[in-house]
């Protein structure tokens, strides 16, 4: 049995990590498409048919894998929110502090003085 249905919608990993690691839950999926401009490929589980967006490995960027509905959804997929979510998880979630950015009143990422969006886009905190 495959593990797709029990896995989170967003996982860490890129094509290199996955192919070098037989223990990775997405190891051995069929590659059905790739999109060089997005540095991504589309893989499908041969057992349950689930599609997975998988980042192509590149320097200085954390690779992610995201569940997608179908090819159409994949073409439109914006992984920015997935990346922000992972960055927040990496920091242990949100704190009760309020973002220092002018007129922003969102909660901060734990250990940071900014909310997820301001940390990610303005402070360039990507991991």
Tokens for 112? Answer: 């940071």
Q: Shortest approach of Zn ion to residue 37 CB, angstroms? A: 27
Does position 48 bind Zn ion by CB under 5 A?
yes
x/- binding map, residues 78-117, to Zn ion, per CB under 5 A?
---------------------x-x--x-x--------x--
Q: Does 11 engage in binding with Zn ion (CB under 5 A)?
A: no
Q: What is the closest distance, in whole angstroms, from the C-beta atom of residue 101 to Zn ion in the complex?
A: 4
Tokens of 115: 């909310």
4 forms part of the interface with Zn ion (CB under 5 A): yes
Residues in contact with 107: Cβ distance below 8 Å, sequence separation at least 6, in sequence order: 94, 95, 96, 97, 98, 99, 115
């Amino acid at each position: 049995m495959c593990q797709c249905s029990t896995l989170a919608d967003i996982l860490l990993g890129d094509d290199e990590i996955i192919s070098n690691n037989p223990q990775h839950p997405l190891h051995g999926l069929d590659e059905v498409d790739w999109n060089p401009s997005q540095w991504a490929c589309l893989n499908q589980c041969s057992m349950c048919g689930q599609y997975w967006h998988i980042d192509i490995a590149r320097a200085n960027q954390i690779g992610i894998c995201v569940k997608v509905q179908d090819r159409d959804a994949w073409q439109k997929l914006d992984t920015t929110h997935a990346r922000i979510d992972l960055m927040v998880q990496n920091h242990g979630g949100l704190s009760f502090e309020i973002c220092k950015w002018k007129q922003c009143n969102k909660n901060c990422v734990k250990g940071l003085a900014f909310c997820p969006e301001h940390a990610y886009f303005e402070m360039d905190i990507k991991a």
